[in-house]
Amino acid sequence: MVRFTETMKNRTILVTGGTGYIGSHTVVELQKQGYKVVIIDNLSNSKKNVVNSIKKITGVKPGFKNFDLCDFKKTQNFFKKNKNISAIIHFAAFKAVGESVEKPLDYYNNNLISLINILKCASEFRVNNFVFSSSCTVYGQPDKLPVSEGFPFSPANSPYGSTKQMCEEILRFSSDKININTISLRYFNPVGAHESSLIGELPNGTPNNLVPFITQTAIGKRKCLNVFGQNYNTPDGTCIRDYIHVVDLAKAHIKAVDYLYKDKNKSGYKVFNIGTGTGYSVLDIIKTFEEISEKKLNYKIVDKRKGDIEKIWANTKTANKELDWRAEKSLKEMLSSSWEWEKKINKKS
């Protein structure tokens, strides 16, 4: 059992997008460490009952406000009424690569305006610690692998990736000027679910990510899994990604907040890769899932999808050393927890 200090108990952290997939797991880890949490979420890609699931796991119900951060007046009013916020973890954003290709203006409007609004309010109300949910998509298709934090950005492959690049540029140029210490966590492909199976990835409509599409196919929600392309320059021709368990990823955010509270961020703006450092292909994921679930997946190869990067995995040495963080869970643990979550929400054994 964690022994909480009075300092920790008195610290309140705002988590935007906190009822979402990664946000909810991060709220759980924050509360386990004794932090008070307030969530802002417009529920565009999540459900309010996640707040009750968080309480079941931790014994503590986080604060919750339902509004859109693109509304500056509502955002400002929140900060006026909640002057005890000491740090912000900003997840709230549209996040689907494929959808962003079809709806680019929606992504630019939502992801940029929400960040700008919350930074203005953080500056006005002197909230000096800020952790940003970034993504490996900022690298585009890197020339060398594994990709390190110092690599230059390649042209973004999607509007989603472009918004993450632009958000990072906003933070890099403005953090010092508005007196906010900022960390951007560039994470790779989060998968898995909490061991309780009370929270997990629950996409609205058709999943945009591989693993929920796999589990929905295995459970019978989807007739067939589409594999987008098999002629990439990879060992089996399918895309390669660095998959990380969502709980490992959530713990990286706690390490980032602690890093800021301890005033270790001397530059004002710092970035860290958050991944495992190992790349797996789409067919690797399918094969491993079939092994752990004992289910044969119905899948077919279809045309490549616009916006997809061919292959990418992380160099995580900086996060391992400076944040004292490293991924612990295996690919089988990631996929097993995803499968248990899928069965739980469909009430199948």
Which residues lie below 8 Å from residue 129, measured CB to CB, with a gap of 6+? 86, 87, 88, 180, 181, 257, 260, 261
Question: Which residue, among 68, 71, 162, has the nearest Cα to 108 in the 3D structure?
Answer: 162
Has 160 been annotated as catalytic?
yes
Q: What residues contact 126, with CB distance under 8 A and at least 6 apart?
A: 179
Residue 344 main-chain phi, psi, to 5 deg: -65, -45
Pick the catalytic residue: 160, 259, 269, 280?
Answer: 160
- For 68, the token pair is 């859109």
CA 153, CA 157: separation in Å to the nearest integer?
A: 11
Gap between the Cα atoms of 320 and 308, Å rounded = 28
Measured distance CA(337)–CA(260) in Å, rounded: 31
Distance CA 27, CA 54 (A): 8
Q: In terms of DSSP bridges, do strands 63-65 and 243-245 run parallel, antiparallel, or are they unpaired?
A: unpaired
Active site residues: 160
